[in-house]
Amino acid sequence: MTQRAQEIAQLDRVIHEPARLTIMLILYGVSEADFLYLQREGGFTQGNLSGHLAKLEEAGYVEIEKKFKGKVPLTVCRLTGKGEAAFAGYSQRMLGLLKPDGSAV
């Protein structure tokens, strides 16, 4: 196995899944967003988004807070410190792998 193949195998699989990567990207850009915003931005179904958020929460990457704005329930999601670090590491590694010489950015 080449070094590059090893690095690919070591990618964070929790983030690497496209739907979860989209969620991480959105949350990295805004810090905080509710379920409906994530659903619209990512084009997810409700069940799909719930499932992926649960996995990200389980990994400790996302924090989910349920609250009310008036009478409207609001499920606010935000990246944790661990999530931000994991995402930064993932994007750096990914960008490095996509460079022709394979060097880290």
| Site of interaction with other proteins (CB under 8 A) | 25-26, 28-41, 46, 50, 53-54, 57, 64, 66, 69-76, 91, 95, 98
Hey, what amino acid is at 38? Answer: L
Residues 6+ apart with CB under 8 A from 32: 76, 77, 78
Instruction: Provide, rounded to whole angstroms, the least separation between the CB of residue 30 and other proteins.
Output: 4
End-to-end CA distance of the chain: 23
Instruction: Provide, rounded to whole angstroms, the least separation between the CB of residue 105 and other proteins.
Output: 9
Instruction: Provide, rounded to whole angstroms, the least separation between the CB of residue 12 and other proteins.
Output: 16
In DSSP notation, 15-38 reads HHSHHHHHHHHHHHHHSEEEHHHH
User: How far is residue 97's CA from residue 105's CA, in Å, rounded to a whole number?
Assistant: 9
**Residue closer to other proteins, measured from CB, 14 or 33:** 33
**Residue closer to other proteins, measured from CB, 7 or 50:** 50
**Residue closer to other proteins, measured from CB, 7 or 34:** 34
